[in-house]
Amino acid sequence: MARAVGSAVLARRLGARIRELRRGVKLTQEQLALAANLSPGFVALVESGTRQPSLGALVALASALHRDLLELMVLDANDPRGDLLDAIRRKDWDAADVAMSRLGRSLGPSRITGTEP
């Protein structure tokens, strides 16, 4: 029974993450469904946490949202790994360094510029 509860929590978090990303790129559920070659009803069920998408559906959703699959899997908005992925995607090295410091690490100047210390 505990597994079912965990699955339900995961489905809700994943659905909320997909909704957040969809709204961030200003797409409707219908537009996202069309871009991902999925039904609008399925997208609505995924976003509500009622349905858990297959790996293939996740790949299609990530592609339609112009995101890496890994970015869909960062389910906690306070998780600095999501900020790090977003900063790297935008090539915002200052934001990436902030995210790394939240993870207890640093990019350092040589990693950002490619020069040796």
Burial of residue 116, with CB atoms counted within 10 A of its CB: 0-12 exposed, 13-18 middle, 19 or more buried: exposed
Question: Tell me, what's the pLDDT at 2?
Answer: 40
Q: Where in the chain is the domain with CATH 1.10.260.40?
A: 1-77
Q: Where is pLDDT greater, at 45 or 98?
A: 45
3-state secondary structure (DSSP) of residue 116: coil
Whether 11 has a pLDDT exceeding 80, the answer reads: yes
pTM for this predicted structure = 0.67
pLDDT category, 15, cuts 50, 70, 90?
Answer: very high
Alpha carbon distance 14, 37 (integer Å): 19
- The architecture of the domain spanning 1-77 is Orthogonal Bundle (1.10)
- 52-61's contacts with Cβ under 8 Å and 24+ in sequence apart are 52/7, 52/10, 52/11, 52/14, 53/14, 60/36, 61/18, 61/32, 61/36
Q: Is 87 exposed, middle or buried (0-12, 13-18, 19+ CB in 10 A)?
A: buried
